[in-house]
Structure 1
Amino acid sequence: MLRNGLEPWHLLVVAIVFIVLFGSKKLPDTARSLGKSLRILKSEAKAMKDENNVPAAHTPVAPAAGVTAETAMAPAEAPVSP
């Protein structure tokens, strides 16, 4: 049924429909915006891929001020009601 699904005259008809719908003045701006969006998408996808492949560096976390090893390990005291 769709042996030759996309022939050159199909692309011509689609191009004519786009020109009629959007006008010839807006097509360059639309193509430029689409290209910019695709570049951003590609760079973000690459950044996510690189982020997943790089092992996280071990950075020790400094304790809060006034916290010592003894107080950090001590159990919390329950409040005493009078």
Structure 2
Amino acid sequence: MLTPKQWRDRYIQILTLIDQSLNSRGCPPTLESMSTSLYLSKASVQVALVHMQRAGLVNWDRHRPQSLWVTTDGFRLYEEATDDDAKK
């Protein structure tokens, strides 16, 4: 079982992957590419994404492939994390 800090860190890793993919390819990453990048199973990434959706950090259209997007709250968390890293 992950601690709240470990969940937050995983969320930030996923948000980072989404940001990098949108900047480099113009579309969100696939579940498979996220699982490969994070060295996690696809099921673990899917569970994290569902938790993130429930927390209001990301959303997607389940009827469209690669329709994952980051919400305002997700951007806020990502910016806080990158600001914290810059201060270190």
Fold match (TM-score > 0.5)? no
Structure ID, larger Rg: 1
Higher normalized strand content (fraction of residues): 2
